[in-house]
Structure 1
Amino acid sequence: MMDMFHTLAFCCLCCCRLVGVFGDTVTVKSVSVTEGDSVTLDSGLTEIIDEDLIQWKFGTKDTVITEINLRVSIISVYQNVLDGRFRDRLKLDHQTGSLTITNTRTEHTGLYTLQTKSVIKRFSLTVYARLPVPVISRNSPQCSSSSSSSSSQQNCSLLCSVVNVGHVTLSWYKGNSLLSSIGVSDLSISLSLPLEVEYQEKNSYSCVINNPIRNQTTHLDISKLCHTCSEAQVSCCDTVEAVMRLVVTALVGVAAVAAAVLLLNDVRSTRG
């Protein structure tokens, strides 16, 4: 009975040690980068002279993408694996074993594993697409029959939009205060977020799109997008008046030319 207890205790101790070691080796470090940038996955090693073989693997299937074989002093980069997504993008430091991925794309998002004789390190890389600049536009007619006669009570309806985005949040801010937001986790989706403001108000508004590492901001110019009906009518009248002035000027010019031609003809007939 005592022997069985000792055996069980020894097995438990061994399991605990294995779990501890395994837990240390499979710690996953999260790394984020914007598409087009370079990223280095640091091996943490200063020298690799004691290692026989160093491999970098990608994905849950542990596809080898590059390796250093010190026994034959060969550095191999497998350009054509995984449909060639890493072609001409991998740089391996032959002293430390650190891996650099240049000109990253969203397809490079995934799990990377460094494996040597004594070390296993894992990195979860997320490559975010570059953010577009939000576009603010008018979301209602300039004037409508239902508009209030008092311009101070009218609202200007606006829309902030972005296209082909994923893993982002789109938000309206009034100064530094968040008014509303909408998020999306899918790829290549268009987002729009409405906002109503009073005509000619002096508050500062901005529309912001962001992901965990970057943001893009467009500031609202109320004076350019929002006009009251009376302002629109004044602008319209000003335009009509300007056109009429041009027409009158043109007619006067034509009349002057016609009078000159008639006078010249009369002079010629008199001399004849």
Structure 2
Amino acid sequence: MDEVRIAFTASEGDLAQAARERLAARYGDVPMTEAEVIVALGGDGFMLQTLHGTQALDVPVYGMNRGTVGFLMNSYAEDDLPARLAAAEETVINPLAMTALGVDGEVTRALAINEVSLLRAGPQAAKLRISVDGRVRLEELVCDGALVATPAGSTAYNYSSHGPVLPVGSDVLALTAIAPFRPRRWRGALLRKTAEVKFEVMEPEKRPVMADADSRSVRNVAEVTIRSEPEVAHHLLFDPGHGLEERLIREQFL
């Protein structure tokens, strides 16, 4: 494993950049197109950025935390990196595909590893109609927003919105309301991974809504469709005993 071809990438922070320089000098640094593994140095936001940017390479990504939040990252250490990579456990996740139709008729498509969220973009609450697999399930949700989250993203915005934590490999998506006003007690639903969710924005001129896919934002949407994208697979590496499944379980007992 000493000859493994590693490509190092780092966020713009000084801590991450300094770590990249030291690790590259010690273990070598090849272009991503020639790498057997990519080591990402930063926080969770940078990990998501790296996964999006390298999805066409079919190369596993091993993160080390040099940022603030590190749920998707391993602990940072400079010694024995090849051995850690050889022993790492792999988790495969599929992103969500978002298709957003703007009020102006423009269509925007994006992928989201964590979640796709709809958020009110004005002073008044949003009004959303929700359909699942072509059938209207909720005629009107008055809320600050709603989101669809993957298991990998279920501990992020979804969890802070009181959504459920989903086990990795559960083939389930979380549909979660954000500050619902009516129906006041509605907190969302668990859906099959293959489900297609459509949000229709009611009164979009009076109650503007934006859509966000892993921080790629689209303003003034009229309709947003979300589904899992099985054709895209992200390969994450974790140290033994500290994989994504263990982290999701542990998060529920904090």
TM-score normalised according to structure 2 size: 0.28
**Which is richer in helix?**
1
Higher RCO structure (Cα 8 Å, ≥6 apart): 2
